[in-house]
Structure 1
Amino acid sequence: MSFVLPVDHVVVLVPDLVAAGSAFEAAGFDVTPQTRHSPAMGTANRCVMLEGGCYIEIMGIVAETPANATWRNLLGKGPGIRGFALRSADIEVSALELASLGIAAEPVRHFSRMTDDGELRFSITRIEPSATPGLQCLVCQHHTAELLWLPQTMVHANGVSQLVSVALPGAGSLAVFPPDESRQGVAIAAGAGRLIFAGRQPQYHDLRSICGVEIEVAAA
């Protein structure tokens, strides 16, 4: 079973954000500094930015809050790929599209966080967890993409450029979303947690003990 989705980012949920970031760095990735989301969210992340408008979000929980209850429940199953964000050019339109498909989602919410390069602004609508068992999925619109996809953060020592495909046990949950091959696509398939990238030369990195994922680089 496989299909194509317009993936904005993949969430790798981990219990130890410092160790997970170091593991990705040891695999040759440039990983952004740790930043915290709002106190209400109670989460923090480090990111691997990629060409093609996609990225890997390595996320940890720094404080238990009602807003991260779903993430905490998912983390109880162990580290790994526990979420997806689908890209939207207009979050309000996307919310209406979800409703028309009968996919329950929370009201649109708007967020911002300060970085050294300026204020990141984005809007999301989170899919009800019951619609995608085993995964937390959301739709995201970036209002300041130029502050997130910085050229210097997309240069990786391992030669990786783009995310090609993702394999995960919960792939069947994503069948509620219709495929969209008109935008940058990332193949989603059932299987063990694995991220496959395009790069200069074939590589393999086993990060299962810390991050719950395997990483494969296929020569572009």
Structure 2
Amino acid sequence: MDKPRSVDHLVLPTADLEAARTRLALLGFTVAPEARHPFGTANACVFFADGTYLEPLSVAQRELCEHAAIDGNVFVMRDQAYRFRRGEEGFSALVMGTDKAEEDRRQFLKAGISAGLNLEFSRPFETPDGARSMAGFELAFAADLRAPDVFFFTCERKNAPDVDRSVLETHENGVTGIRQVVLSEQNPSDFQYLLQQVVGQREVNAHSFGVDLAAANADVVALNSAGLKGFFGVAGGTHARGLRLRGIVFATADLDAMEQRLKDREIAYAFIAGRLVVAEAAGQGAFFAFEQGS
């Protein structure tokens, strides 16, 4: 572990991309046009100025997905497994950035957490003004059989499109990026080694509520039920053993304006520990927490 990896993006399965777009827009996010993967899934991403993004993900062509799964496409296989176990709405994967996906695969194999063969693919990218380009990716997967409802991968971006994304990275709610990714588990320290390998971080802050790891650009936090309740007002501990991805903490430039937006649109929220917390909903597969910050 030379240095911690950065959080790249978060995968949020949804039954309907348009429903996700409506929900995210209501919360003040700018949502990119729909883009389709060559293996049957589609997304409509939310990009942030800090280089991270959300990936609401739907099944666009079921037959293509099924063929991809038969062919060993780990991304599709894990998405199908998540939807079968957890339903069509949720938060399935934490993705870390990398510039060496093949080396990551070897590292995950050595650590005993590899989830399968790397995946390479390209897909079209389009901005709101119609500019199009091709984006290429290579993914290296990690998982733990004790936690069937979450998976991890590193993402190497290849042929990165030379496109101005500033319009997509500007949001009415003032959000500039991701501060924390929140997981839950009854005894988070049981998964400390897995998280260390995924984040690329040796140092762990262990406490009575769970464990915190500092990625290069955000914190990855695994909390027990007391931690979820105390920090976010979220019920925990009702699911079986195993990590689950539960929530996302965003930095917003104007927390007061964000609160007024929630009131104006009659979106239920709670103010806890200096954050506005919005419970998960259709098209929003995780709880969202907003805190002051640039």
Which bracket does the TM-score occupy, shorter chain normalised? Answer: 0.7 to 0.9
Q: Provide TM-score, normalisation by structure 1.
A: 0.85
Q: Is it true that 1:189 corresponds to 2:207 in the alignment?
A: no
Q: Whose radius of gyration is greater, 1 or 2?
A: 2
Q: Provide TM-score, normalisation by structure 2.
A: 0.65
**Partner deviation per Cα, 1:188-209 (whole Å, 9 max, x = no partner):** 3334532210012224444424
Matched-pair contact (CA < 8 Å) for 1:5–1:185? no
- Cα distance change on mapping 1:198 and 1:182 into 2, 3 Å: closer
- Cα distance change on mapping 1:42 and 1:55 into 2, 3 Å: same
Q: Provide the secondary structure at the position in 2 that maps to 1:197.
A: strand
Give the match for residue 169 of structure 1.
Answer: 184
Q: Provide the secondary structure at the position in 1 that maps to 2:182.
A: strand
Q: Distance in 1 between matches of 2:81 and 2:16?
A: 16
Deviates most, 161-170 or 12-21: 161-170
Q: Provide the secondary structure at the position in 1 that maps to 2:78.
A: helix
**Aligned partner letter, 2:220:** A
What value does the CA root-mean-square deviation take over the aligned residues?
2.6
Q: Distance in 1 between matches of 2:185 and 2:19?
A: 24
Q: Distance in 2 between matches of 1:137 and 1:69?
A: 13
Q: Provide the secondary structure at the position in 2 that maps to 1:22.
A: helix
Q: Distance in 1 between matches of 2:144 and 2:47?
A: 26
Give the match for residue 254 of structure 2.
Answer: 201
**% same residue:** 21
What is the 5 A alignment of 1:1-220?
6-38=6-38, 41-62=39-60, 63=62, 64-65=65-66, 66=69, 67=73, 68-76=76-84, 77-78=86-87, 79-116=89-126, 117-128=132-143, 130=145, 132-147=147-162, 150-169=165-184, 172=188, 175=192, 176-178=194-196, 179=199, 180=201, 181=214, 183-190=216-223, 191=228, 193-202=246-255, 203=258, 204=276, 205-220=278-293
Matched-pair contact (CA < 8 Å) for 2:11–2:93? yes
**Aligned partner letter, 1:219:** Q
- Cα distance change on mapping 1:108 and 1:100 into 2, 3 Å: same
Deviates most, 97-106 or 24-33: 97-106
Deviates most, 182-191 or 78-87: 182-191
Higher RCO (C-alpha 8 Å, min separation 6)? 1
Q: Distance in 2 between matches of 1:182 and 1:33?
A: 29
Matched length = 215
Q: Cα distance, 1:183 vs. partner?
A: 2.2
Deviates most, 200-209 or 10-19: 200-209
Q: Cα distance, 1:107 vs. partner?
A: 2.2
Give the match for residue 264 of structure 2.
Answer: none
Q: Cα distance, 1:131 vs. partner?
A: 6.4
Q: Distance in 1 between matches of 2:218 and 2:285?
A: 23
Q: Cα distance, 1:213 vs. partner?
A: 2.2
Q: Cα distance, 1:69 vs. partner?
A: 3.4
**Partner deviation per Cα, 1:91-125 (whole Å, 9 max, x = no partner):** 12212221222222322221101234311011112
Q: Provide the secondary structure at the position in 2 that maps to 1:122.
A: strand
Matched-pair contact (CA < 8 Å) for 1:103–1:131? no
Q: Distance in 2 between matches of 1:149 and 1:136?
A: 31
- Cα distance change on mapping 1:148 and 1:86 into 2, 3 Å: farther
Matched-pair contact (CA < 8 Å) for 2:30–2:172? yes
Flag structure 1 segments of 5+ consecutive residues without an equivalent. Answer: none
